[in-house]
Amino acid sequence: MKTQNEHWRKKSYQKVTLETKLLVVDQILNGQTSTNFASKKYDVPRTTINYWLRKYSTLVQQKTGMSKNDEIKKLKERIEELEFVKDFQQDIIADMELITGVDMAKKSLPKTLAKEIELKKKICLKENIRLFIASPYRKNNVNLPELTI
């Protein structure tokens, strides 16, 4: 049972090295740990960790050598890369649907993606008909119906 004097006694904490502070800040900024978990793990108050975040977050960025503009540039490049991959995958799905005649996108993808794939299929069909018409191997007596998109 606590006495009245112990109730008002301030909890003492051990000193933390700069390396540990930077490690904690880095882990929190990278999403590897939360402020609460770090507080319990390192036996440091959450308010102190929040102070470290304000104080050392720019120091961690300088340590990695990446400014905010560089980080934005890197993220934009990543977005472009992912959009390319998405378009490539949609082209493959559209081609497979044209070959097999099965609408895979409508069954398994969200409506917005299924609509994009449907549009790609129509464009692909239109291009294939143009190539077929322009083909030197096409016989003159073959009539193709007009494709409306």
Q: What is the pLDDT of residue 2?
A: 52
Residues 6+ apart with CB under 8 A from 33: 24, 27, 41
Q: What is the pLDDT of residue 78?
A: 92
Q: Where would I find the beta strands (DSSP E) of 20-125? A: none
Q: What is the pLDDT of residue 81?
A: 94
Q: What is the pLDDT of residue 14?
A: 77
Q: What is the pLDDT of residue 107?
A: 81
Ordered by start, the domain boundaries in the chain are 14-64, 68-134
pLDDT per residue as tens digits for the range 59-84:
656 565 566 787 788 889 999 999 99
For the segment(s) 14-64, the CATH number from 3.40.390, 1.10.10, 2.60.40, 1.10.3470 is: 1.10.10
Q: What is the pLDDT of residue 72?
A: 86
Q: What are the residue ranges in the chain where pLDDT is below 50?
A: 137-138, 141, 144, 147
Q: What is the pLDDT of residue 128?
A: 72
Q: What is the pLDDT of residue 60?
A: 55
Q: What is the pLDDT of residue 129?
A: 66
Q: What is the pLDDT of residue 106?
A: 82
Q: What is the pLDDT of residue 84?
A: 93
Alpha-helical regions (H) of the chain: 4-7, 18-29, 35-42, 46-64, 68-100, 104-108, 111-134
Q: What is the pLDDT of residue 27?
A: 87
